[in-house]
């Protein structure tokens, strides 16, 4: 029987264990992803932010215990929302956005971002606490009425369910909250068979480059895929990073 999103033990997710496993000692693939995302977003916004200065709104969908997608949007946004469903992750993110500043584990990722002038001009801890807020929400319940101008989704649509329909719905729900022309970054575990965090196992839908491309192309005016052949744990075959822009199409229900 396939595990659907609602069947997974999200209330028992341990963010501290997850950070220790994946981010406390930065992995080369994450630093590579950060550089690719940094350069792509910098190219999209160029010397300045399009439209009204400072009016860009950012969202990280299914943020989990990962701050670097949010950090990657910091120079461009007046407000960033971290959407997360698992209550332990919500509490972790609320601690990271408190006035005291985020944990030192994230400094290595900011160091990669700050190699580019737009990021180097930002004092990240103060800015993160000032403009980033956490909201509890389920990706599959997003109604498309909340619109953001830049967005990220890292290891979410493919890492919450074994069901192809929930994977496709997750991608669609993410893309449908982005405004036309919005830059985005989305990452997927390639051919994942599920993953362990502490004592609990979580489901995954097996994707490859073709499945990722097919799921995103209907919603994009620009799309580049990076098939990164880095193994970070047993049970997958690499990571796929998608960078692109939202088109004007309305997502089908």
Least confident of 125-134, 184-193, 216-225: 184-193
Q: What is the pTM of this model?
A: 0.86
- Per-residue pLDDT at 98 exceeds 80: yes
Distance separating the N- and C-terminal Cα atoms of the chain: 26
Domains of the chain in start order, with CATH, are 5-246 (3.40.50.150)
Pairing of strands 183-189, 239-246: antiparallel
* CA distances from residue 178 to 35, 59, 68, 103, 232 in whole angstroms, order as listed: 22, 9, 19, 29, 30
* CA distances from residue 209 to 72, 155, 187 in whole angstroms, order as listed: 23, 14, 11
> Higher model confidence: residue 85 or residue 34?
34
Percent of the chain with pLDDT over 90: 49
CA–CA separation, 170 and 76 (whole Å): 25
DSSP 162-215: S-HHHHHHHHHHHHTTBPTT-EEEEEEEBT---EEETTEEE----B-HHHHHHH
Q: Confidence band (pLDDT; 50, 70, 90) for 104?
A: very high
What pLDDT score does 235 carry? 47
User: 90 by DSSP, 3-state: which?
Assistant: helix
What pLDDT score does 209 carry? 80
CA–CA separation, 79 and 56 (whole Å): 7
């Amino acid at each position: 029987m396939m595990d659907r999103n609602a069947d997974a033990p999200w209330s028992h997710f341990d963010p501290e264990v997850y950070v220790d496993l994946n981010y406390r000692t930065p992995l080369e693939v994450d630093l590579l992803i950060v550089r690719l995302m940094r350069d792509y977003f910098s190219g999209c916004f160029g010397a300045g932010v399009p439209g009204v200065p400072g009016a860009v709104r950012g969202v990280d969908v299914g943020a989990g215990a990962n701050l670097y997608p949010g950090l990657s949007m910091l120079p461009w946004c007046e407000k960033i929302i971290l959407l997360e469903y698992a209550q332990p992750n919500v509490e972790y993110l609320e601690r990271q956005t408190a006035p005291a500043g985020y944990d030192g584990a994230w400094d290595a990722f900011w160091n990669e971002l700050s190699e580019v002038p737009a990021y180097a001009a930002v004092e990240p801890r103060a800015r993160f606490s000032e403009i980033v807020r956490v909201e509890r929400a389920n990706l599959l319940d997003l109604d498309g009425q909340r619109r953001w101008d830049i967005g990220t989704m890292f290891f979410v649509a493919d890492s919450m369910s074994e069901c192809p329909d929930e994977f496709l719905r997750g991608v669609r729900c993410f893309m449908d909250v982005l405004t036309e022309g919005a830059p985005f970054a989305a990452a997927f575990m390639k051919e994942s068979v599920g993953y362990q965090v502490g004592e609990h196992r979580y489901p995954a839908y097996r994707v490859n480059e073709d499945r990722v491309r097919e799921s995103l192309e209907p919603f994009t005016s620009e799309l580049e895929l990076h098939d990164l052949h880095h193994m970070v744990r047993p049970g997958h075959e690499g990571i796929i990073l998608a960078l692109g822009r939202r088109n004007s199409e309305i997502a089908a229900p």
